[in-house]
Amino acid sequence: MNDIRSHYLAWLRDAHAMEEQALTMMRGMVSRLEHYPELSARIEQHIAETEDQAGALRDLLDSRDTSTSMLKDAMGKMAATGQALSGLFAADEVVKGGMASYTFEHMEIIAYKVLIATARQLGDTAALSVFERNLAEEQAMADWLLAHMEETTRAFLTRDAADLPAGR
Ligand code: MG
Ligand code: FE
C-alpha cells in the first residue's frame, strides 16, 4: 500500500505542476490572439477552468501530502515541457499554438486517467470526482480545438495572404 500511495502523491504533484504550466502557456497565448476572438474566448474559458483545476489539486495535495519541496521539483520539470511546446511561436503562432495546445490537452487527459486508476485502487473517492471533472474539461477543450483547427488555419492563411498582421 505504501508504494501505491507514494506513486499517487508523485503523480498528483505532477498534475498540479502540469496545470500551473498550462496556465502560463494559455495566458501567454491569449494575450497575442486579438485577431481570433472565438479562439481567444475559448482559451479564456479554459484558463478559468484550469485555475479551478489547479486549486482543487492543491487542496487534495494539502490534505494528503506534507512535502512541499517535492511540489517545487515537479514544477521545474513541467516548466521545461511547456517551454518546449510553446517555444516555437513565430508568425504562425496561432497555428503552432493550436497544435501545442491540442498536444498539451492530451497530456492532461492521460495524466488524469492515471490518477483516476490509482485513486480507484486506493478508494480515494473525493479525489476521484476532482480528477473526473478535470478530465471532462480537458476532453472538451481538446474536442473544441480539433473541431476548430481547420477554421483557425484558414483564418490565419487568409490574414497572411492579405498581408494583415496574420501571425496572431
Ligand atoms: Mg487542465
Ligand atoms: Fe487543459
Q: What is the pLDDT of residues 78-121, one digit of tens each?
A: 666 666 555 555 788 899 999 999 999 999 999 999 999 999 99
Ligand approaching nearest to the C-alpha of 105: 2
Tell me the pLDDT band of 68, cut-offs 50, 70 and 90: low
- Across 13-27, 62-76, 101-115, least confident range: 62-76
- Higher-confidence residue of 31 and 111: namely 111
Residue 43 and residue 36: Cα distance in Å, rounded?
11
Reading the block at residue 164, the C-alpha cell is 494583415
Q: What is the 55 CA–ligand 1 centroid distance (Å)? A: 11
Whether 164 has a pLDDT exceeding 80, the answer reads: no
Residue 124 makes CB contacts below 8 A (sequence gap 6+) with 8
Q: Measured in Å, how far apart are the chain's first and last C-alpha atoms?
A: 50
Residue 85 and residue 79: Cα distance in Å, rounded?
10
Q: What is the 135 CA–ligand 2 centroid distance (Å)? A: 8
Residue 118 and residue 130: Cα distance in Å, rounded?
13
Please give the CATH number for the structural domain made up of 2-161: 1.20.1260.10
- Average predicted confidence (pLDDT) for the chain: 89
- Higher-confidence residue of 103 and 69: namely 103
Ligand approaching nearest to the C-alpha of 16: 1
- Higher-confidence residue of 148 and 91: namely 148
pTM, two decimals, is 0.87
Q: Alpha helices, DSSP H only, in the chain?
A: 2-30, 37-64, 68-86, 93-122, 125-161
Task: Look up cell 508504494; give the residue.
Answer: 3
Q: What is the 105 CA–ligand 1 centroid distance (Å)? A: 7
